[in-house]
Every structure is written in C-alpha cells, then in structure tokens.
Amino acid sequence: MSKQIIFNLPVKDIERSKAFFSQMGLLINPEFTDENATCFDVTENVFLALLPEPHFKEASMGELADASKGNEVLIAIGMDSKEEVDSLVDGAIKAGASELHEPADMGTIYGRSFADVDHHKWNVFYMRQIKTV
C-alpha cells in the first residue's frame, strides 16, 4: 500500500484557494510548493496539492470537469469526534465554502459536507467504533 496520498485539485484562482485552505487551518508545505502548485499538509502522510487549471490540465493530459455542474471527485475525511467535524466544516464555511446539506447523524456515523471555493465536494465524518465480541 502507498505510504503517501496526495490529492491534486485544479483551481481557478490559486491565491483565493490558498487563502481558503489556510483559513481552514491547513499549513502550506514549502518543500512541495512552487509556481505550478501549492501543497498543504493534511496529516503526516496525506497532502493536498492545488494546481492552477492550465497546469492541472497539462499534468492530467485531459479535459477538466466543471465541479460547479457535476462531480469529479468526492473527498471524505474522517475525524476523531463530532466536535472536530463541526469545527472543520464551520471553519470551511467561514472561509467561503457552502454547506451542501444539513448535518446527518445516523447513530454510528455523523457527517457534514461542503463545497470549497472551486466547488470541490468534501464529506467530513466521525464514525463511532463498534466493538465486536
């Protein structure tokens, strides 16, 4: 299995998107940031790379999806508590995201979702551990 996961997302305005994710509390990783991409540390082995649309299109060798009209990817992030879910999503909304639907509490899973400033969709959830016998 891989040792690192990097989510590469196309963005229309790199400065606006950098500000959005910085306001959410993510830290820029200067070692992997240059004129073609800005990299954020999500966890020790998970990274978010923002690429301006022309560079993303070149790197992916394909057309870009219009995330405001369709779905390109759904990113899900597991948190350690309901409070962490609320904190992350509330921070995203404060930074300019839009909440996609009301919080869902299904007993063992609590989740919320938002669309970032480039319309990428994020699910943030807490899953209570079920003890087995």
Please count the structural domains in the chain: 2
- 78 and 23 in one domain? no
Q: Check whether residue 25 and residue 76 sit in a common domain.
A: no
CATH number at residue 86: 3.10.180.10
- Clarify whether residues 53 and 18 are in a common domain: yes
For residues 57 and 82, membership in a common domain is answered with no
Residues 38 and 95 in one domain: no
pLDDT of residue 25: 92
pTM of the model: 0.81
pLDDT of residue 60: 84
Distances (CA, A) of 108 to 14, 29, 83, 101, 122: 37, 34, 15, 19, 19
Do 53 and 107 have their domain in common?
no
Query: Could you list the residue range(s) of the whole structural domain that residue 13 is in?
Result: 1-63
- Over the stretch 63-122, which tens digit does the pLDDT of each residue have? 888 888 888 888 888 999 999 999 999 999 999 999 998 999 998 999 999 999 999 999
**How does the average pLDDT of the chain come out, rounded?**
90
pLDDT value of position 92: 96
Distance between CA 132 and CA 41 in Å, rounded? 34
**CA 83 to chain CA centroid, nearest Å:** 18
pLDDT of residue 61: 84
Confidence class of residue 35 from pLDDT cuts 50, 70 and 90? confident
Indicate if 76 and 48 belong to the same structural domain. Answer: no
Residues 27 and 55 in one domain: yes
**C-alpha–C-alpha distance, residues 5 and 68, integer Å:** 25
